């Protein structure tokens, strides 16, 4: 699984309240979440991104509220992956469960800037920026199975109905 | 050498497990609410599930009650109808209170259980000796369908709190101080276990506050071993089925020690929970709104402290004081103790039990450039409304004192 894209870099402790504020949660109009993605930091963010872009962040990305809309907003906006030094526990689960590629990569923020083109190779276990190649831990088989099926919904269906 | 959490998971799976292992564990109880329930049911539909499985399941209507918009009402109706259609075992409808509170008041929580909740503050329940995990909607849907949760068995971090509890210092101040020291990612991926003589002296209400906010330093969950206080508390709500778990001494991955004997009241400043300062550093900041409530600090003990401060005073003119008891039981108890009368006479607005304005949806949304002080758990940008608003977090006593003066105020000024 190789992903290549343009980087948007953020800092530490980006909460799900920043990714998608609570006031936009009472809807099933998914495009609303995309429109307000990252509104807490940059209300114009959704108009700047292109399909395939990558979010890079520091520690504890997606901390706070369990709202799955944070993952869905990122995924539906066309972001291909989130690479962070570490993730909020629930956000990480939500991403895996919903088929959004999330990669833990210590020190990544030192070696990449917004606008850089970055490559992620999950199978061979590295992240390549214009400045450095960093190794990443391979996923355990269990998570890889969920990812390769596109998420927990399909994982359940296959398990149940074969 | 195993932690309590490793032992609980081992007993559920039927073999000995260790931290770091990936497992699929059976779960005992699943809950969610009118907010996360929307996606829970969408996922169940997509999973082609007709009826949920055998695991006890509960839905709470607590996040926007009564509904504040057409969309909220419409989606709550969808959650209610879906709960019936899929066979959710218990529905607590609007006005009953916050799920994290009502769930144990109604006797659903039994020490030794594994509980998942589609809400990040589910670890509040760790104060009752359970493994309580906050998860997303899809995890909850999968749990409802399959009765299981995938999980990397977490390591446990021990926090020992010792010393004398100073006047004006409460569980909220203690946990804010700890978060300020360990930072917002200090317990990332780990279970926090509290011990020490201070923890033992704290009431169960206060222990909930500690566990609730351990989430804000990244903890997967929080655990406190049960003692006489927990046992009496649970008995009061009809729970006598107790499985006691203890961590072995050498099972902790990290240990921290705090002596709180000289701690001042603490305040978390904008815009992150770990930006914690002593009250003397922030006293005098003007506030437009004070919110007292939430799953962090909306319990009876909190309201009693608030009443002590409000009983001889008046809320500063043109300052909004919003008090929302965490549950209907707490509201009724507060009424019989005369607390609600004290609040109303002092000039407070008292709201319907539930999450209130904590999540910025209703009942006190902060406007541009407004400053709020809240007893809830999060002060992220935009959390309670405008992204131009500022949120300070503090204890109910500090919040009440600030309501009287209209600025952040040391509660010890009003405590005899």
CA distances from residue B157 to A150, B21, B121, B221, B235 in whole angstroms, order as listed: 33, 17, 18, 10, 29
Residue A109's pLDDT band, with cuts at 50, 70 and 90, is very high
Residue A142's pLDDT band, with cuts at 50, 70 and 90, is confident
Q: How many CB pairs under 8 A join A and B?
A: 138
Q: Report percent pLDDT > 70 for chain A.
A: 99
Structure tokens at B24: 């699929």
Task: Verify whether the Cβ–Cβ distance B220 to A66 is below 8 Å.
Answer: no
Residue A162's pLDDT band, with cuts at 50, 70 and 90, is low
Q: Check: CB of residue A57 under 8 Å from CB of residue A11.
A: yes
3-class DSSP assignment, residue A127:
strand
Burial of B240 (0-12, 13-18, 19+ CB in 10 A): exposed
pLDDT at B187 over 80: yes
Q: Check: CB of residue B199 under 8 Å from CB of residue B175.
A: no
CA angle B180, B185, B187 (to 5 degrees): 90
Task: Verify whether the Cβ–Cβ distance A23 to B360 is below 8 Å.
Answer: yes
Tell me the chain A residues in contact with residue B270 when contact means C-beta distances shorter than 8 Å: none
Nearest to A22 by CA among B63, B10, B127: B63
Tell me the chain B residues in contact with residue A142 when contact means C-beta distances shorter than 8 Å: 22, 24, 150
pLDDT at A1 over 90: no
Residue B61's pLDDT band, with cuts at 50, 70 and 90, is very high
Return mean pLDDT, chain B: 97
User: Could you state, in order of their start, the residue ranges of all structural domains in chain B?
Assistant: 4-258, 267-413
pLDDT at A148 over 90: no
Residue A144's pLDDT is what?
Answer: 86
| Interface probe with A: pick from B179, B380, B384, most Cβ of A within 10 Å | B380
Task: Verify whether the Cβ–Cβ distance A12 to B145 is below 8 Å.
Answer: no
Residue B27's pLDDT is what?
Answer: 98
| ipTM summary value | 0.95
Residue B228's pLDDT is what?
Answer: 96
- The full 3-state SS of B133-186, as one line of letters, equals EECCHHHHHHHHHHCEEEEECCEEEEEEEECCCCCCCCHHHHHHHHHHHHCCCC
Tell me the chain A residues in contact with residue B118 when contact means C-beta distances shorter than 8 Å: 66
> In what helix (H) or strand (E) does residue B194 lie, and over which residues does it extend?
strand B190-195
Residue A159's pLDDT band, with cuts at 50, 70 and 90, is confident
Q: How many CA atoms, within 13 angstroms, populate the side-chain half-sphere of residue B230?
A: 24
Q: Which fold has domain B267-413?
A: Aconitase; domain 3 (3.30.499)
- Phi and psi at B23, nearest 5°, equal -135, 160
Range A2-161 has CATH code 3.30.70.360: no
Mean per-residue pLDDT for B187-211? 98
- pLDDT (tens digit per residue) in B252-273: 999 999 999 999 999 999 999 9
Indicate the CATH number for domain B4-258.
Answer: 3.30.499.10
Residue B389's pLDDT band, with cuts at 50, 70 and 90, is very high
Mean per-residue pLDDT for B301-309? 98
Residue B380's pLDDT is what?
Answer: 95
Structure tokens at B379: 């002060």
Q: Which residue of B has its CA nearest to A159?
A: B146
Task: Verify whether the Cβ–Cβ distance A22 to B383 is below 8 Å.
Answer: yes
Q: Which residue of B has its CA nearest to A154?
A: B47
Mean per-residue pLDDT for A2-22? 95
Residue B242's pLDDT is what?
Answer: 86
Q: Is B327 left (phi over 0), alpha (psi -120 to 50) or beta?
A: beta
Q: Check: CB of residue B268 under 8 Å from CB of residue B172.
A: no
pLDDT at B96 over 80: yes
Q: How far is B367 from chain A (nearest CA, A)?
A: 13
Residue A140's pLDDT band, with cuts at 50, 70 and 90, is confident
Q: How far is B308 from chain A (nearest CA, A)?
A: 32
User: Could you state, in order of their start, the residue ranges of all structural domains in chain A?
Assistant: 2-161
Nearest to B220 by CA among B209, B232, B211: B211
Residue A13's pLDDT is what?
Answer: 95
**DSSP category for residue B202:** S
Q: How far is B239 from chain A (nearest CA, A)?
A: 29
pLDDT at B47 over 90: yes
Q: Check: CB of residue B183 under 8 Å from CB of residue B273.
A: no
Matching residue, tokens 């699943």: B30
């Amino acid at each position: 699984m190789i992903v290549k894209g343009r980087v948007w870099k953020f800092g530490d402790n980006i909460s799900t309240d920043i990714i998608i504020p609570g006031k936009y949660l009472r809807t099933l109009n998914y495009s609303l979440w995309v429109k307000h993605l990252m509104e807490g930091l940059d209300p114009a963010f959704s108009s700047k991104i292109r399909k395939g872009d990558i979010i890079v962040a520091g520690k504890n990305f997606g901390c706070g509220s369990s709202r799955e809309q944070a993952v869905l907003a990122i995924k539906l906006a066309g972001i291909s992956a989130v690479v962070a030094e570490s993730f909020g526990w629930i956000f990480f689960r939500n991403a895996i469960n919903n088929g959004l590629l999330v990669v833990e990569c210590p020190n990544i923020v030192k070696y990449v800037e917004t606008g850089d083109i970055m490559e992620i190779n999950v199978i061979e276990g590295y992240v390549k920026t214009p400045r450095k190649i960093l190794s990443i831990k391979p996923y355990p088989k269990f998570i890889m199975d969920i990812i390769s099926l596109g998420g927990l919904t399909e994982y359940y269906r296959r398990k149940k109905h074969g | 050498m195993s932690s309590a959490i490793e032992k609980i998971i081992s007993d559920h799976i039927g073999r000995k497990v260790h931290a770091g292992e990936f497992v699929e564990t059976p779960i005992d109880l699943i809950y969610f609410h009118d907010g996360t329930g929307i996606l829970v049911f969408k996922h169940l539909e997509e999973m082609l599930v007709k009826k949920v499985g055998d695991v006890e399941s509960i839905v709470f209507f607590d996040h926007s009650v009564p509904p504040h918009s057409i969309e909220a009402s419409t989606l709550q109706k969808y959650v209610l109808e879906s709960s019936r259609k899929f066979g959710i075992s218990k529905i607590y409808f609007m006005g009953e209170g916050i799920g994290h509170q009502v769930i144990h008041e109604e006797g659903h929580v039994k020490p030794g259980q594994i509980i998942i909740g589609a809400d990040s503050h589910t670890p509040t329940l760790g104060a009752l000796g359970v493994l309580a995990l906050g998860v997303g909607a899809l995890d909850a849907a999968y749990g409802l369908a399959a009765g299981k949760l995938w999980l990397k068995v977490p390591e446990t971090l021990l926090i020992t709190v010792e010393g004398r509890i100073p006047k004006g210092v409460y569980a909220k101040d203690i946990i804010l101080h700890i978060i300020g020291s360990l930072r917002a990612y200090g317990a990332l991926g780990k279970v926090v276990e509290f011990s020490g003589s201070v923890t033992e002296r704290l009431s169960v209400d206060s222990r909930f506050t500690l566990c609730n906010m351990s989430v804000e330093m990244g903890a997967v969950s929080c655990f406190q071993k049960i003692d006489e206080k927990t046992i009496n508390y649970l008995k009061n709500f009809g729970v006598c089925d107790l499985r006691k778990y203890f961590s072995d001494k050498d099972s902790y991955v990290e240990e921290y020690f705090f002596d709180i004997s000289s701690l001042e009241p603490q305040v978390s400043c904008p815009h992150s929970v770990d930006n914690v300062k002593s009250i003397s550093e922030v006293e005098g900041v003007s506030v437009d709104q004070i919110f007292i409530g939430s799953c962090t600090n909306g319990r009876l003990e909190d309201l009693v402290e608030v009443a002590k401060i409000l009983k001889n005073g008046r809320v500063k003119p043109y300052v909004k004081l919003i008090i929302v008891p965490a549950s209907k039981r707490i509201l009724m108890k507060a009424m019989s103790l005369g607390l609600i009368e004290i609040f109303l006479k002092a000039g407070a607005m008292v709201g319907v039990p539930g999450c209130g304005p904590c999540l910025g949806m209703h009942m006190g949304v902060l406007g541009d450039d407004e400053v709020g002080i809240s007893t809830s758990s999060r002060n992220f940008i935009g959390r309670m409304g405008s992204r131009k608003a500022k949120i300070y977090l503090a204890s109910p006593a500090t919040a009440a004192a600030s309501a009287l003066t209209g600025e952040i105020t040391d509660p010890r000024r009003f405590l005899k």
